[in-house]
Amino acid sequence: DQQVKQNSPSLSVQEGRISILNCDYTNSMFDYFLWYKKYPAEGPTFLISISSIKDKNEDGRFTVFLNKSAKHLSLHIVPSQPGDSAVYFCAASYDYKLSFGAGTTVTVRA
Amino acid sequence: NAGVTQTPKFQVLKTGQSMTLQCAQDMNHNSMYWYRQDPGMGLRLIYYSASEGTTDKGEVPNGYNVSRLNKREFSLRLESAAPSQTSVYFCASSAVGTNTEAFFGQGTRLTVV
């Protein structure tokens, strides 16, 4: 049973607008959450993370929000750029194990 | 600037054949991992090594074995390949555990016929 779920397989957004990616988790033991970005034929690369003791972390155009009571996190990308077109994976960490969601494919339209 | 290097990049096996996927990192990381990626499933942890000399099962270990040869190298072995093991395999490493950024290799696309 998947403990990390990304319910939107794809997202299309216009260049310059905001992209919002959502992620839900079931295991309350997760203590760290990360987002990874993946281009075709490459390995995932780290984007941004947040500890379970925080509710927001910002890094340039990327902001991650964590709502522990709802077991929900989201990634905001503002403004979206063509180079942001990729698959985004939400991941949650506990005890040396990283559980990944199925990914959301983001397409940024010019 | 090698980071995490996986070999081979592509492999086709017949059912029942064996093979070893190699992974090496040059970042002096303590922890290393093997994942498989299947359509609609995200990445699933096969085995991990929290530090040199230790290995543990992940979410989907059946049909695989691993060896943490030294701090740099972590190999994944398929003793008797099955079509269900057709997947893309990723090796990753991190400084300590999974609360720090993990660096991934480029992946090995394995097909078992």
- In angstroms and rounded to an integer, the radius of gyration of the C-alpha atoms of chain B is 13
* pLDDT score of A52: 94
How would residue B100 be classed by pLDDT, with cut points 50, 70 and 90?
confident
Nearest-by-Cβ selection for A96 from B40, B59, B98: B98
pLDDT of residue A106: 98
Residues B82-107 have a mean pLDDT of: 91
**Interchain contact B61–A (C-beta under 8 A):** no
Bridge-partner residues for B92, per DSSP? B33, B104
Chain B residues with beta carbon closer than 8 angstroms to that of A7: none
- Interchain CB distance below 8 Å, B99 and A41: no
pLDDT surpasses 90 at B6: yes
Query: pLDDT tens digit string along B10-69?
Result: 999 999 999 999 999 999 999 999 999 998 888 999 999 999 999 999 999 999 999 998
Look at residue B1 in the predicted model and tell me its pLDDT: 64
- B6, closest residue in chain A (CA to CA): A43
Q: Is the pLDDT of residue B94 over 70?
A: yes
- Report whether pLDDT(B109) > 80: yes
What pLDDT is recorded for position B27?
95
Report which of A66, A82, A85 is spatially closest to residue A74, judged by C-alpha positions: A66
> What does the pLDDT average to over A71-84?
97
Q: What is the mean pLDDT of chain A?
A: 95
Chain B, nearest residue to A40 by Cα = B106
Query: What is the percent of chain A where pLDDT is above 70?
Result: 99
Question: Do the Cβ atoms of B101 and A34 come within 8 Å?
Answer: yes
Distance from CA of A42 to the nearest CA of B (A): 5
Q: Do B98 and A44 touch (CB under 8 A)?
A: no
The DSSP string of B22-81 is EEEESS--SEEEEEEEETTTEEEEEEEESSTT--EE-S--TTEEEEE-SSSBEEEEESS-
Q: Which residues contact B34 (CB under 8 A, 6 or more apart)?
A: B21, B23, B45, B46, B47, B48, B58, B64, B66, B74, B76, B89, B90, B91, B92
Residue A59's Cα: distance from chain center in Å? 13
A69 CB-near residues (< 8 Å, 6+ apart):
none
**Would you call B104 and A2 a contact, using CB atoms and an 8 Å cutoff?**
no
Does the beta-carbon distance from B97 to A49 stay under 8 Å? no
Backbone angles phi, psi at A11, to 5 degrees: -150, 130
Q: Which residues of A touch B102 (CB under 8 A)?
A: 46, 98
- What does the pLDDT look like over A35-75, one tens digit per residue? 999 999 899 999 999 999 999 999 999 999 999 999 999 99
Give yes or no for a contact between B18 and B82, defined as CB atoms under 8 angstroms apart: no
Rounded distance, CA B61 to CA B85, Å? 11
